[in-house]
Amino acid sequence: MNLERVRHKARLLIGRERLVAPAFTYRIENDVAAVACTIGPALEQRVAELFRAGERLLALELDALGNERLFCLAKRALAAIERETRRRGQHVGDERYPGDPGIGIEEQPRVLEMANAAAKGIRSTPGGMLSPVKSMSFVVPLGTTLAKSRGGPCRRCPSRERCASAKR
């Protein structure tokens, strides 16, 4: 099966089986916003099923589409924070993710707590992995003199090269 057909099939699966349940939450404390977002557990469970059934290509494509949806969701969350920050007369800086320089992976639980991630069913394992797997957390600095780089979450999105909407 060619890749386009597999991609199409994966998209149909997402719609038909409602594999994506996007949700995000954020809270602003002082000059930092903490964010958590997820597309829920259904897609990763379906990917695992497909692998077990030997449908490797479809599983990989479904997984890739899940990543796209998650990064796009992070963009939506960031846009909501930007709007709120502008109303406060401030700007946002570049977002940073646990594991980035200056914010260790061990900070994951603190970021989740600050964002009230549990309200969306997002948790951290002791090793700093997120559950559901297709979840993400990050912090955004806020201030009157800050400016963000172009791109936001698109800079890290694995689908950036093939995405027509990528902000470069």
The Cα–Cα gap between 94 and 28 comes to: 15
Interface pattern 107-146 for ligand SF4 (x via CB under 6 A): ----------------------------------------
Residue 166 engages ligand SF4 in binding (rule: CB under 6 A): yes
In degrees, rounded to 5, the angle at the alpha carbon of residue 145 between the alpha carbons of residues 81 and 141 is 40
All residues at 6 or more sequence positions from 128 whose CB lies less than 8 Å from its CB, including other chains: 98, 99, 105, 106, 108, 109
DSSP letter (8 states) at residue 78:
H
Smallest gap from Cβ 154 to ligand SF4, in A, equals: 3
For residues 43-72, which are near ligand SF4 according to CB under 6 A?
A: 68, 71-72
Smallest gap from Cβ 163 to ligand SF4, in A, equals: 3
User: Residue 73 is encoded by which pair of tokens?
Assistant: 């969701």
Site for ligand SF4, rule CB under 6 A = 68, 71-72, 75, 153-154, 157, 159-160, 163, 165-166
